[in-house]
Structure 1
Amino acid sequence: MRTICFNSRTTSSSSVSGIGQTAPARTVSGMAMDRTLEIAELIITKWDQDTSSFAKVTSLFHENRAEAKEFIRCMNELQKAMHSVVSENSNSEKLIRAQCLMEIGMKRLQKEFYQILSMNRAHLDPESVSTRSSLSTRSSISDYEDNEDDKIRLAGESITEVEDVSTVAMTDLRLIAECMISSGYGKECVKIYKIIRKSIVDEGIYRLGVEKVTSSHIHKMDWEVLEIRIKSWLNAVNVAMKTLFNGERILCDHVFASSDSIRESCFTEITREGASILFGFTEIFAKSSKKSPVKVFRSLDMYTAIASHWQEIDSIFSFDSTSAVRSQALTSLIKLGELVKTALIEFESEIQKDKSKTSVPGAGIHHLTVDVMNYLSLLADYSNVLGDILADMPAPSISSLPASIFDGSDSDDSQSPARSTWFAWLILILLCKLDGMAKQYSGNGNVSFSYLFLATNLQHVISKVRTSNLKYLLGDDWVTKQEVKVKQFATSYERLAWDHVVKSLPLDPSAPISTDQAKEWFRRFNNAFEQAYYKQSACIVSDGKLRDEIKLSIAKKIIPTYRKFYDTHRRVTIGREKNLYVVRFAPEDVGNKLSDLFFEGAGSSGSSSSMSSSSLYTRTSRSH
């Protein structure tokens, strides 16, 4: 457009003077050019930085914004007048004069554009731009000329001073850009914009702690170092999408609203490298990172970050020229999803390969139970994205799972049943492993321990399900069925560990018997109870509720019967026989000892009990 004023055209007959002819009358366009030149020359030469020391050190838009608006108006009017005159006489002396003024004015605007961009870096930072009160990026320049002061005044009442300044700067940049582009000086304007704004984006990415990495870098990094980099990236992607790239897109759309092609080329060149570094990290991590269950959570964090910002990514990088950014982000999602699936398969394999042969002391909670349930409860926090990741992952069908393990009818996971099935399947594998471990107690002659082991470990599984998002994936019916199994295991334990104590007392504890018979029953009870107590005092039940339920159930079976027998026959049997008391335990003593069971270090001191000895005895007595 800059050369349009000098294109050779065929002159009209009215503009050509023949020999002996009089000069033609002044045309309307010529008179308009005279007026335009007269007005434009005054203001343009005033701000000629080559001839005015004042203009060289002063900013037009900063010094007098009203005059700046007039300067822009004169430049636009001069351009219109030049287009009118060129069609009549391309060699007009006025046209050449106007072109000289145009060059001076564009040079001035080029400097103003640079100054506004560079001096307002703090006010045009992406955060200020992205949070400012929105102005229409599609409005015409005349809207801003007519209503600019009113808008700025209203903005000053509702937004911060920084946002107010950024609004003014953005408006001025748009005025200059549209004037320069319409006059054929868009290349100079765009060059300045790209250089300054790209440096801001690149600096922003660097300050966010994101650096370009290669596959070899990822392979060589210790996991602790890599995890720090991932944490920095997670913070960076949130700031980048909400602020950095979003603010840059808003500014670019606003300044170059008059040209879609310029908007696209500017934004693409400014952000392409920064976006490539940002999403390149996740893509390379997903491709190059060693597969490990421990890395699945950071992979899910990154997957969640990209997925949650996908709408912004798709909107901000919507240009055809930025499709590579969208493609890179999508590739990162796919690769991260594959990494998660591989890690989960590896986790399943690790459970099945566990070869723990040493039984847990006290039939307590096995470390495999703790590790697996901690892992699964944390995974359940990512249930939303796992639904997408596991949607096409082969999983055992619900029908292949035992009804006692999983019934999806009560699960809140109707949209992604594969997700619930997969969690239920891993828990089933764990329970099968525990069942195999329980047999180790049976082989050592401690059959009762095997049932207590199953009860305590299954109770831990239920507790982790209840206190995590697993409860929404597996459903209340699943929990109820497992609680029934815990009660069954506990009942089997009580029968094997304590039934011989119950049977050491007569069926009718208050029936009249001889002194010798009474002594014999006391001896039987003493031996049976001491044997059971000594053996079971090694057991540990970590869950307080289950511990109390088992102890209370045992007490109900023993204490009431023993109390009746004790109250009926203790008087006739008090005495010494072979230096041992025939009656060694009062009912309260039995209750105290039972109260001390199933704590770590039980049997050594009653003070370790979280429930007082008398409390258990009292509850047992009252229940009868």
Structure 2
Amino acid sequence: MKTIFFKSSPSPTRMTPPASPLHVTFSESLMEENIESAEFTITKWDSLSDNNDTFCNTASLFSDNNRVEAKHYLSSIRGLQKAMQYLVSHQASSEKLVRAQTLMQTAMKRLEKEFYRILKSNRFYLDPESFSTHSSSGLSAPRSSFSDFEEFETENESRDDIDSLPEAQRVSLAAMEILSAISEVMIKAGYAKECIKVYKTIRKSFVDETLYSLGVDRTLNLQKIQKMNWEVLEIKIKKWLHAVKTAVKTLFPGERILSDQVFSIAPAMGDYCFTEISKEGALTLFEFPENVAKCKKTPEKMFRFLDLYEAVSNHWPEIESMFSSESTSTVRSNAINSLIKLGDAVRTMLTSFETAIQKDTSKTTVPGGGIHPLTRYVMNYLSFLADYSEVLSDIVADWPLTIPSPLPDPFFGSPDNEESISSPVSVRLAWLILLMLCKLDGKAAMYKDVSLSYLFLANNLQYVVGKVRQSNLKILLGDEWVTKQELKVKQYASNYVRMGWSKVLMALPENPTAEIPVDIVKDHFRKFNSGFEEAYTKQTSWVVPDPGLRDDIKISLARRIVPIYKELYETYGGMYLRKEMWVESLVRYTPDDLGNYWSVLLNGSTSSSHGGRSR
């Protein structure tokens, strides 16, 4: 590009009209004046450079104190360019051209050093966050020539707008203005390669260091990841989730803005610089989730895999926009491959989770008919999964559920009902719950007491309903699903009352107010005492963890037993049996006693005392 000024001689077949002597004299005079002015300015600043000739120790031309000098310096270079163009056309072999070329080389070397110094010294002021924030606020550095160092004022910006910005943003805008002015002059002079080299060196090191500080380690390959303990890898996943958000929302957009502004005169160069600066770091960033997806897959890892998938998926529009060029297609491919691999991994883990439910063969029963560990595990797992419903929708959309037979209406509703479960995610979660409940039916059969089996089923289904109500599962499964399961809970509880207190219920007369022979009355009381004490003693260790369900059961017991027993007690438990010697042992409980006993029932107490009331 440095030969841009040295054009070939005009073709012999093309006639060039001779310039008038007056025009030639004026042009030569202007050319001489431009060279002399440039020589004075360039030589003056070249003499201020330190002997070691390093970039960082160069006297600053573009400091605030030298604003006028800097403007004049760039103006002199433009004049020198015009003089060289004239000499190439009219005096290609002139010593003046050699002299001008030498001056231009000196000036370019100077600008290269200044370009480096500004990038280096403002390394952390030229931070992507400042650019992103500044861009989103509607303010932007001018995209036209910065060579005159205008104050940051355009049609949409005022001095007050700039002054109101934080210091970091004001400094970054000023630095961008100067960098853009230098790059414009260097590019026009044919020194784009030197300018780009300096820019890439400084900004790439910044991007690489920033990513490293965020925990993005380029040495962390697939082999290392596969050998890591899950606890260690999980920490790295958490760091990556923060890193990708910062990189995609701040770091890469900031570098894109900076490259576009600094090379506003040559957008293709800005795009090239951004690619060279960010491509390697972006590839490292998006290789990580793809490598994690290749690790051993167990259901416990599901949620971190979903976090990774969600992060890439949510940021895909920005990724696709920033890395839209052909040269950055590998970055887009990496991100897409991450989504594909993570999606495959999630489907594998869902299958493993389903298989684990189906293969559960634990034979132990839960004491007191409480909540089974399988119920807790599955419902906690599914309630967490429901938080990822949008991500799961993408993953299972084209993954049909294969089941041996149509699912029952209580789990999926009627096909004609608008509220019936239809989304792929809802269907799959409902299916997993159904598998678990089928397993619980088998575990309920292990209890020797049928009433305890029903209590176990009521407890566990109530736990399922509670988890659904407290999580996003309610949105996925719907109100109709919840209502149907609640009816089943009531049915199980009713069966428990009927079976668990059958002897007590059978001991009561159909009509306690009717005239009943004394012997039969005595028999009612004896059977009631025996049945009540047997049921109470057996059930003192039984438990209903849910307070609402426990209260409902006790209310149901009271409604079924107390009114009839109270009529029997008030009609025959008093004076009618008073003359019998064994009345104290025959009528052991008042109606109020029943409530007192039931108040401590189903709390999981191991006490079995059931003494009668004191007289």
> Is this contact kept in 2: 1:296–1:340, CA < 8 A?
yes
Rounded Cα–Cα distance in structure 2 between residues aligned with 1:582 and 1:224: 66
Rounded Cα–Cα distance in structure 1 between residues aligned with 2:421 and 2:561: 46
Rounded Cα–Cα distance in structure 1 between residues aligned with 2:144 and 2:514: 107
What's the counterpart of residue 619 of structure 1? none
Q: 1:562 aligns with which of 560, 565, 576?
A: 565
* Residues 252-401 of structure 1 aligned to structure 2 (within 5 Å): 252-287=259-294, 289-396=295-402, 400-401=406-407
Rounded Cα–Cα distance in structure 1 between residues aligned with 2:567 and 2:260: 91
> Is this contact kept in 2: 1:538–1:602, CA < 8 A?
yes
TM-score (norm 2): 0.90
What's the counterpart of residue 507 of structure 2? 504
Compared CA separation, residues 69 and 152, structure 1 to 2 (3 A) = farther
Q: CA deviation at 1:38?
A: 3.5
What's the counterpart of residue 481 of structure 1? 484
Q: CA deviation at 1:131?
A: 1.9
Q: CA deviation at 1:574?
A: 4.6
What's the counterpart of residue 211 of structure 1? 217
Compared CA separation, residues 33 and 604, structure 1 to 2 (3 A) = farther
Compared CA separation, residues 370 and 354, structure 1 to 2 (3 A) = same
Compared CA separation, residues 413 and 108, structure 1 to 2 (3 A) = farther
What's the counterpart of residue 34 of structure 1? 32
Q: Which amino acid aligns with 2:508?
A: L
Q: CA deviation at 1:247?
A: 1.2
Q: Which amino acid aligns with 1:272?
A: K
List gaps (5 residues or longer) in structure 2: 611-615
Q: Which amino acid aligns with 2:268?
A: S
Q: Which amino acid aligns with 2:290?
A: E
What's the counterpart of residue 2 of structure 2? 2
Rounded Cα–Cα distance in structure 2 between residues aligned with 1:159 and 1:3: 43
Rounded Cα–Cα distance in structure 1 between residues aligned with 2:88 and 2:108: 19
Q: Which amino acid aligns with 1:392?
A: D
Out of 491-500 and 80-89, give the one that drifted further: 80-89
Question: Is 1:222 aligned with 2:229?
Answer: yes
Q: CA deviation at 1:15?
A: 12
Q: Which amino acid aligns with 1:266?
A: C
Rounded Cα–Cα distance in structure 2 between residues aligned with 1:317 and 1:513: 93
Q: Taking every aligned residue pair, what percent have the same amino acid on both sides?
A: 51
Q: CA deviation at 1:539?
A: 1.8
> Is this contact kept in 2: 1:410–1:474, CA < 8 A?
no
Cα offsets for 1:455-502 (capped at 9, x unmatched): 111111111111111111111111111111111111111111123212
Cα offsets for 1:161-208 (capped at 9, x unmatched): 111000000111111111101101111111111111111111111111
Question: Is 1:591 aligned with 2:589?
Answer: no
Q: 1:45 aligns with which of 43, 48, 62?
A: 43
> Is this contact kept in 2: 1:405–1:428, CA < 8 A?
yes
Rounded Cα–Cα distance in structure 2 between residues aligned with 1:304 and 1:106: 48
Rounded Cα–Cα distance in structure 2 between residues aligned with 1:152 and 1:321: 38
- Secondary structure of the residue aligned to 1:61 is coil
Rounded Cα–Cα distance in structure 2 between residues aligned with 1:25 and 1:358: 108
Q: Which amino acid aligns with 2:266?
A: S
Question: Is 1:435 aligned with 2:441?
Answer: yes
Compared CA separation, residues 353 and 248, structure 1 to 2 (3 A) = same
> Is this contact kept in 2: 1:8–1:90, CA < 8 A?
no
Q: CA deviation at 1:139?
A: 2.4
Q: CA deviation at 1:158?
A: 2.6
What's the counterpart of residue 468 of structure 2? 465
Rounded Cα–Cα distance in structure 1 between residues aligned with 2:175 and 2:128: 13
Compared CA separation, residues 148 and 358, structure 1 to 2 (3 A) = closer
What's the counterpart of residue 613 of structure 2? none
What's the counterpart of residue 58 of structure 1? 59
Compared CA separation, residues 125 and 528, structure 1 to 2 (3 A) = same
List gaps (5 residues or longer) in structure 1: 17-22, 607-624
Q: CA deviation at 1:604?
A: 5.6
Rounded Cα–Cα distance in structure 2 between residues aligned with 1:490 and 1:412: 26
Q: 2:164 aligns with which of 153, 158, 161?
A: 158
Q: 1:94 aligns with which of 84, 93, 96?
A: 96
Compared CA separation, residues 160 and 138, structure 1 to 2 (3 A) = closer
> Is this contact kept in 2: 1:574–1:581, CA < 8 A?
no
Rounded Cα–Cα distance in structure 1 between residues aligned with 2:599 and 2:148: 83
Q: Which amino acid aligns with 1:265?
A: Y
TM-score (norm 1): 0.89
> Is this contact kept in 2: 1:574–1:582, CA < 8 A?
no
Out of 133-142 and 306-315, give the one that drifted further: 133-142
Q: 2:130 aligns with which of 110, 128, 131?
A: 128
Rounded Cα–Cα distance in structure 1 between residues aligned with 2:608 and 2:285: 60
Q: 1:114 aligns with which of 113, 116, 119?
A: 116
Cα offsets for 1:223-277 (capped at 9, x unmatched): 1111111111111111111122121111111111222332232122211221122
What's the counterpart of residue 550 of structure 1? 553
Q: May I ask how many residue pairs the two structures share in their alignment?
A: 594
What's the counterpart of residue 19 of structure 1? none
Question: Is 1:424 aligned with 2:427?
Answer: no
> Is this contact kept in 1: 2:141–2:177, CA < 8 A?
no
> Is this contact kept in 2: 1:46–1:52, CA < 8 A?
no
Q: CA deviation at 1:536?
A: 2.2
> Is this contact kept in 2: 1:7–1:90, CA < 8 A?
no
Rounded Cα–Cα distance in structure 2 between residues aligned with 1:575 and 1:159: 101
Rounded Cα–Cα distance in structure 2 between residues aligned with 1:456 and 1:298: 31
Rounded Cα–Cα distance in structure 1 between residues aligned with 2:286 and 2:502: 66
Out of 388-397 and 544-553, give the one that drifted further: 388-397
Rounded Cα–Cα distance in structure 1 between residues aligned with 2:22 and 2:258: 51
Q: CA deviation at 1:435?
A: 1.2
> Is this contact kept in 1: 2:503–2:527, CA < 8 A?
no
Cα offsets for 1:382-435 (capped at 9, x unmatched): 000100000111214798211112127455976xx2111111111111111111
> Is this contact kept in 1: 2:134–2:140, CA < 8 A?
no
Out of 263-272 and 182-191, give the one that drifted further: 263-272
> Is this contact kept in 2: 1:137–1:257, CA < 8 A?
no
Rounded Cα–Cα distance in structure 2 between residues aligned with 1:10 and 1:497: 112
Compared CA separation, residues 491 and 144, structure 1 to 2 (3 A) = farther
> Is this contact kept in 1: 2:163–2:170, CA < 8 A?
no
Q: Which amino acid aligns with 2:367?
A: P
Out of 187-196 and 536-545, give the one that drifted further: 536-545
Rounded Cα–Cα distance in structure 1 between residues aligned with 2:27 and 2:378: 86
> Is this contact kept in 2: 1:364–1:453, CA < 8 A?
yes
Q: CA deviation at 1:157?
A: 2.7
